[in-house]
A and B are shown apart, each in its own frame.
Chain A
Amino acid sequence: MTRALILLRRRLVGSVFVLLIVVIGTFLLLEAAPGDAVDAYIVSTGGDAGMIELLRHRWGLDQSELTRLANYLWALLHLDLGQSVTFSKPIRDVILERLPNTLLLMVSATALSFGLGSALGIYAGARPGSFRDRFLSISSLALYAVPGFWLGLVLIVIFAVDLRWLPIGGIETLASDRTGLDRAADIAIHLVLPVSALGFIYLALYLRMMRAGMAEAWRQDFVLAARARGLSRRRIVLAHVARNALLPLVTMLGLQSAQMLGGSVVIESVFSVPGLGRLAQEAVAARDTPLLLGIILTSAVLVVVINLLVDIAYAFLDPRVGAGQAGA
């Protein structure tokens, strides 16, 4: 336990540095954008040059870049991301409103891709070189080549337009005042298609990793030893071969989290899910750069947290990790 804690502390310190680079880098990138929050505001409300001057002064936009970066970082320490011009609300509140939908989408898609992907990978890897192994490995490669947003549209055409089994988009039925389990079921039905579109592509990744890891594990001595001990094939596959191939998949889970967040931007757009990704698009369309900055930061923090959790899980799953790192 203490080992895991030491590991966690080291990672936390490193993460703070990395996040600082992200904040400064993104701030400077978005500074380069033509137009600022005042321009965006004036477009929607109208106003003369005096008004523009006044707003620039009030929002601190007439100060130097460095001062504003310092102000931004200071505000950030108080978890203040600034004010969104398009939503006329604190950016933090806007993001927190949308975040649960994205998290729900990501967690479900991860569960689908990791669960089904590793299960199919075990099924394929249990008999290397067999027909089912070759079939699954080729079809997973084909699946990996599919753009998620296009898969989403195809699923909509089949299941929402033609068969009318599932809703075409959104996160829940609007103005239905469902509560409790009824509402949860409604949200679950709305999530089936977006989660499939996002999850099936990564499913291929986990399937292929599992299969490759198992092919590697079959050649190890401990498999021979397990055979010599007369263990059943089923037990060898599950307890020895698959178990050893599973660890790299856990690492992948963390590495893929950033990819999946990026993927959910497009999927949310296809299925009109009001999440972080759609918010990013709205921010781009409205030229609301502070909002975009806030979304990028939130995503980065999310990725860091997920990777920390994966590291902790890894330390528990593989006792060698903590021992080596903490001693170094």
Chain B
Amino acid sequence: MSPLRRFLRTPEAVAGAILLGALAAMALSASLLFPGDPQAIAGPALLPPFQDWSLPLGTDRLGRDVLAELFHGARTSLAVGLAAAAAALAIGAVVGTLAGFADGLVDEVLMRVTDAFQTVPSFLLALAFVSVVGPSLGIVVIAIALGTWTGPARVARAEVLSIRERDYVANARAIGMHPLEIAFREVLPNALPPVLAMSSVIVAAAILTEAALSFLGLGDPNRVTWGGMIAEGRTVLRTAPFLSIVPGIALVLTVLGVYLAGEGIVETTAVKRGLS
């Protein structure tokens, strides 16, 4: 059975793929379906959901279209989640490979720095970083990556430690390849699979961290974010709780989709490896 077939036979994985597909569709169609500024006023303030079909999910405290904001927020969530996870995996893979391949002092220093990053609560670090540099999409991505690269780094290092004693690495040394070239062209690609297996957890963590930062008002002020929408709705929590609840449900479904799809992929590839 092909991995794709096996993936499609796991109900959890299919559910995850559907959720992620819907999210991607929302993000991609946001400017088609809701052209113009999603932060512009679209109708009367605090219109409840399912009242007016031109504004299906109603409006917020300032009369902005909740559905339009939801679609544009999907874009931010997805972009930040993927970019931050990619950055964290890249930093982690490079640091882990260097530490595992170099050993001695370089290994010791890199691993103590990794320890230091794991000792500071990553959310506090992100908070401090964004508040120092100023909130923008790129800075939020870096801030999240700063707190999440340590896990991939440890996994990459452990993998490199087991790979570097193999024959092909000894061969590469024998033909006089530069150690850095061996580390990044021979060892790193082979150490990647277990690191990539962490990606779903990291994407999920990045999406949740972005939401929490925006909730505290540290997101990019020029973009709609689900965290920002929840914070905005919080001011009218007693009278219009749906304003906070709706974007939260979108967040939960997104993160759940990432977990389910990720587990499905890891499971199908693990079975494949087990068979071969």
Contact = CB atoms under 8 A, between A and B. Distances in A.
A interface majority secondary structure:
helix
A184 B211 CA distance: 34
A303 B119 contact: yes
Interface string A137-173: 0100110111111100110110001000000000000
A259 interface: yes
Contacts of A150: 211, 230, 244, 248, 251-252
Nearest to B120: A300
A296 interface: yes
Given A262-B123, A299-B121, A147 B237 contact: no
B interface majority secondary structure:
helix
B191 interface: no
A19 B119 CA distance: 8
Contact of A284 (B128, B212, B256): B128
B260 interface: yes
Nearest to A151: B248
A147 B211 contact: yes
Given A17-B112, A153-B234, A145 B124 contact: no
Given A141-B260, A145-B204, A296-B128, A304 B237 contact: no
A154 B248 contact: yes
A26 B119 contact: no
Interface string B90-126: 0000000000000000000000110110111111110
A236 B127 CA distance: 47
A22 B212 contact: no
B203 to A, nearest CB: 12
Interface in B239-276: 241, 244-245, 248, 251-253, 255-256, 259-260, 263
B230 A296 contact: no
Contacts, number: 134
B120 A161 contact: no
Interface in A276-328: 280-281, 284, 287, 289, 292, 295-296, 299-300, 303-304
Contacts of A32: 132-133
B215 A266 contact: yes
Interface in A28-86: 29-30, 32-33
A261 interface: yes
A150 B244 CA distance: 8
Given A18-B112, A265-B124, A144 B234 contact: no
Interface string B43-64: 0000000000000000000000
A239 to B, nearest CB: 31
Given A142-B252, A147-B248, A259-B122, 7 more contacts: A149-B215, A154-B245, A157-B245, A266-B216, A281-B216, A287-B131, A289-B132
Interface of B: 12, 112-113, 115-116, 118-125, 127-129, 131-133, 204, 208, 211-212, 215-216, 218, 227, 230, 234, 237-238, 241, 244-245, 248, 251-253, 255-256, 259-260, 263
Interface of A: 14, 17-19, 21-22, 25-26, 29-30, 32-33, 138, 141-142, 144-150, 153-154, 156-157, 161, 255, 258-259, 261-263, 265-266, 269, 280-281, 284, 287, 289, 292, 295-296, 299-300, 303-304
